[in-house]
A and B are shown apart, each in its own frame.
Chain A
Amino acid sequence: MLGKLAFTGIKSRLRDYLVLFTGLIISSAVFYMFETLATNSSFLSSSTNGMDSASFIFQFGSVLLTIISLVYIFYANSFLLSMRQHDYGIFMMLGAKPAKIGRLILTETLVIGFLSSMVGIIFGGILTASLGNYLMEKIVQMDLPNFQALSVKAVVLTLALYLILFVVAGLINRRKLIKTPVLELLKGDSQPNRPKLKPVNQTIQIVLGLGLLAFGYYVMKHFVDFQLASIPIALVTIVFGSYFLFNAVFVWLVVLLKKTRWAQQGINNFTLSQLSFRIRNYTKILATVSILFALALGAITVGMGFGNEADLFTQGSSGYTMALKNPSQAVKKQTNDLKLARKSSYSFKATKKAVYYEKDEFDRQPLQDVSDKWMKAISKGKKPVASYDSRDGKTLQKNPGSLYYLQGDFEQEIKVVSAQKYAEIQAPQQELFVFRVKDIKQSKEKLDQIVKTIYPKTFQQQRANIPGGYSSYLSGLEAFGGFEFMGFFLGIAFLAMLASCLMFKILSGANSDKHRYEMLNKLGVRKQVLRRSISREIIILYALPGILGTIHVLFGLQLFKTLLIAPYQGIWLPFLIFVVLYLIYYWITVKLYQKIVLPAVEIDK
């Protein structure tokens, strides 16, 4: 019977549980994916220059994901509890012992936890096998022949973590429920939270909220001064700042709006009253959502920022895309297909003692290297623009540093000598062929082809050893691509969790709102008007945390100034992607809500 009670409980509120499940499944699926990537040894060993950095990135990602899952699961469980409290109240009224109720809650929580993490793992496996693999190849540019989507270690880790989280959450729920008086359980839902305006209190909260936010932003902007302490400081101040701000401003806003003439028109007053009816409950979730929103949007923005970074990184690493020694005619022909910014060829002779270049050749065709302006722009925190300095024979004679890099051998001494001296050296003449492409991203495939022509069999191993921007680009892709990939998935996971949280909150009120909409319909309010009222009410609930979350991100990006060359570059794209996804969630919430509350009987036809 206990089992039946638990399960019929789930069946009767399937819609709410589905939302809960979806959020949990996405969270555990993404977690599983991160663990698979981070713990898969075949994946790590097949990487070119040791995927240590990438492995660390994914471990870091799963730590972040664990923290956020913790918050999410606690939130989801208190939602679960609020759904069930009336039933539990009846059980208690009928004389169920506290221990029994406790067991019931634990059973329900664990069953939900187990089911959702199992489905999440399966889903995560599919995700890793298809999307993950595809994206890894696309972003990190690696073929993964021996990559497996099923990792026992990751399964065990995911399951263990989620079950522990659910047991803890179940215990907390149990404690909370047993401590609540039965009367409150039975009647708690229908009591409105009447927003009271206490001006002094409110003003203090606004000042405190703004002050805390300002301090948090300040700390993030001055990351260098506060070092690692700035992250916990910012987290605490911004969380509390958001909460105070919502608590004070939101209540005030609604009460003030109700006094305007706008509120007297149509059913605007009803919409506002709907908002104020459960206003206190909403302030907490809105603050939570604004933080999650910032984390999600931040993850995607920073991730994509890292993606752009590979290009910038390449620009600054070398004056040329590739430096090839004695390329064949076939290879040279292939370079003709590239959109080149510069192409040169120098002759050299190598003896056991040193490598010799002819000074005159550099006078005729100066060698290029990255300009100092590039580094200066970065150190000033400005967006660097690619610019190159030319180096003639005389400069190189004094300092052949640029040549060392292109030669790819730091052991052997390089000497730039006069034509006469060069002719005297007894060694076969060789060629150093250098070129720079206009856009490395676009030329990537053709460049790969060139390397394949040179090293038909050892392409994978050798391509990272070719001097020039191409190899930097590869390692950049590996490190930054990992970040991009992680940021993207973390962002999606956060978004799924935050939007589900908000959705739970709104939809969980829908059942008790039903009779109000029914009544309005009976009073002759058109369905169209009711629909508009609903979408307005919900968009306010979505927009407020969204706006605050966006501001958090704009300031939060300051943190990444030390890690990223240009954190604000191309910021519109992740923002756009994010807003579109967020709006989709909004749209789904509105549709579900309308489906619940709008009466089947239509007055207008």
Chain B
Amino acid sequence: MDNQAIVSAKNIKKIYGRKGEKQYEALKGVSFDVHAGEFVGIMGASGSGKTTLLNILTTLDQPSEGTVEIDGQNITGLKGNDVADFRAKKIGFIFQDFNLLENLTNSENIALPMSLQNVPMAKVQPQIKRLAEQLSITGILDKYPNEISGGQKQRVAAARALISQPAILFGDEPTGALDSSSTTDLLEMLTTVNQEQNVPILMVTHDPLSASYCQRILFIQDGQIGQELKRGNQSRQEFYQQIIDDLGAFQGQEAKYKC
């Protein structure tokens, strides 16, 4: 495995609230790396800080302290066109609620990141075709998002995230709005993309089934990385069982803290 770090987060802190007012520390110094070709999951209870972390990694939010490097570029403090270029070229993002534009066809939705970079449609077409085949959405390219199922929508969203050949793919509960069979389909496709194209994936989830597709899972608790779980040579089913067990222990521990 290539050991080059694609994501390198160092001592990230995020504090909400102004000085002098009541402050809330959502992240209390998080450090970790994601290497090329990895499929990493971030798990944690609601309010543990996992969404905040993802927002910082994707430049949607700025950390109060610490640095994040993605593909060798320090992204903390990026502004204006630099942020735009970074988002357009380095990262792909899949949201829980798809965030497709309902007034564009699916293929136009997929092409959107390229259109925003002024790449002509003709040049993008072959790429769309290839991605559509890979994600089994060839038949629905000319339809509109409200004419297809949730699972299909998320695959369209995945295609949109991959069109610019990003250095890393981020997912914010990408299976959160899907039924179990769509979830399995999507995750298997993401695994294929991850393995065949060597695109690293970082995904926030609280669903053990989704998490079992990852190679490594970081548990976040109270704004800190509490535990790390590696799949190693286990089968997916075995890993799933381990996650369930650990999650139980982890949450039990958490419940104890709260008592």
Contacts and interface: CB of A to CB of B under 8 A. Distances in A.
B61 interface: yes
Contact of B85 (A8, A90, A97): A97
Interface in A76-103: 87, 90-100
A12 interface: yes
A332 B25 CA distance: 98
Contacts of A91: 112, 116
Given A9-B103, A94-B112, A183 B81 contact: no
A175 to B, nearest CB: 13
Nearest to A99: B81
Nearest to B87: A95
B103 A93 contact: no
Contacts of B81: 97-99
Interface in B17-62: 55, 60-61
B103 A90 contact: no
B74 interface: no
A95 B85 contact: yes
Given A1-B115, A87-B101, A186-B99, A92 B55 contact: no
Contact of A96 (B102, B116, B160): B116
Interface in A85-123: 87, 90-100
Q: How large is the interface on B (under 10, 10 to 19, 20 to 34, 35 or more residues)?
A: 20 to 34
A96 B103 contact: no
Interface string A1-38: 10001001101100000000000000000000000000
A95 B103 contact: no
B80 interface: yes
Interface string B93-122: 100000101111000000011011110010
A94 B88 contact: yes
A12 B116 contact: no
Nearest to A87: B101
Interface string B54-88: 01000011000000000000000000110011111
B80 A182 contact: no
A177 to B, nearest CB: 13
B86 to A, nearest CB: 7
A181 interface: yes
B231 interface: no
B40 to A, nearest CB: 21
Nearest to B120: A1
Contacts of A1: 115-116, 118, 121
Interface string A181-198: 111001000000000000
Interface string A159-201: 0000000000000000000000111001000000000000000
B89 interface: yes
A11 B84 CA distance: 27
B103 A11 contact: yes
Nearest to A90: B99
Contact of B61 (A5, A95, A181): A181
Given A1-B115, A182-B60, A183-B60, A97 B84 contact: yes
Contacts of A94: 87-88, 93, 112-113, 116, 160
Contacts of B55: 183
B89 A95 contact: yes
Contacts of A92: 84, 87
Contacts of A96: 84, 88, 116
A413 to B, nearest CB: 85
A481 B246 CA distance: 85
B101 A90 contact: yes
A95 B102 contact: no
A186 B87 CA distance: 15
B103 A98 contact: no
A87 B104 CA distance: 11
A181 B56 CA distance: 12
The interface centre, meaning the residue of A1, A9, A90, A92 with most chain B CB atoms within 10 A of its CB, is A1
A181 B88 contact: no
A557 to B, nearest CB: 47
Contacts of B85: 95, 97
A182 B89 CA distance: 17
A172 B99 CA distance: 26
A105 to B, nearest CB: 14
Contacts of B61: 181, 183
Contacts of A98: 80-81, 84
A402 to B, nearest CB: 77
The interface centre, meaning the residue of B86, B87, B93, B118 with most chain A CB atoms within 10 A of its CB, is B87
B117 A95 contact: yes
The interface centre, meaning the residue of B61, B93, B112, B118 with most chain A CB atoms within 10 A of its CB, is B112
Contact of B103 (A12, A99, A181): A12
Contacts of B93: 93-94
Contacts of A9: 103
Nearest to A185: B60
The interface centre, meaning the residue of A12, A95, A96, A100 with most chain B CB atoms within 10 A of its CB, is A95
A1 B104 CA distance: 11
A234 to B, nearest CB: 38
The interface centre, meaning the residue of B86, B88, B103 with most chain A CB atoms within 10 A of its CB, is B103
B84 A12 contact: no
Contacts of A97: 80-81, 84-85, 116
A181 B60 contact: yes
Nearest to A104: B116
B35 to A, nearest CB: 24
Contacts of B104: 8
A88 to B, nearest CB: 11
Interface in B156-209: 160, 164
A203 B136 CA distance: 62
Nearest to B105: A8
B120 to A, nearest CB: 9
A95 B115 contact: no
Nearest to B58: A93
Nearest to B86: A95
A99 B121 CA distance: 21
Nearest to B118: A1
A7 to B, nearest CB: 9
Nearest to A12: B103
Given A8-B104, A11-B103, A95 B88 contact: yes
A400 B104 CA distance: 86
A186 B113 CA distance: 17
A100 to B, nearest CB: 6
Nearest to B161: A94
Given A98-B80, A182-B60, A183-B60, A93 B101 contact: no
Interface pairs A-B: 3 shortest CB-CB: A95-B88, A95-B87, A12-B103
Given A12-B102, A98-B81, 13 more contacts: A1-B116, A11-B103, A90-B101, A95-B85, A95-B88, A95-B89, A95-B113, A96-B88, A97-B80, A97-B81, A97-B85, A181-B61, A186-B99
30 contacts: A1-B118, A8-B101, A11-B103, A12-B102, A90-B112, A91-B112, A93-B87, A93-B93, A93-B99, A94-B87, A94-B88, A94-B113, A94-B116, A94-B160, A95-B86, A95-B87, A95-B88, A95-B116, A95-B117, A96-B84, A97-B80, A97-B81, A98-B80, A98-B81, A98-B84, A99-B81, A181-B61, A182-B60, A183-B60, A186-B60
Interface of A: 1, 5, 8-9, 11-12, 87, 90-100, 181-183, 186
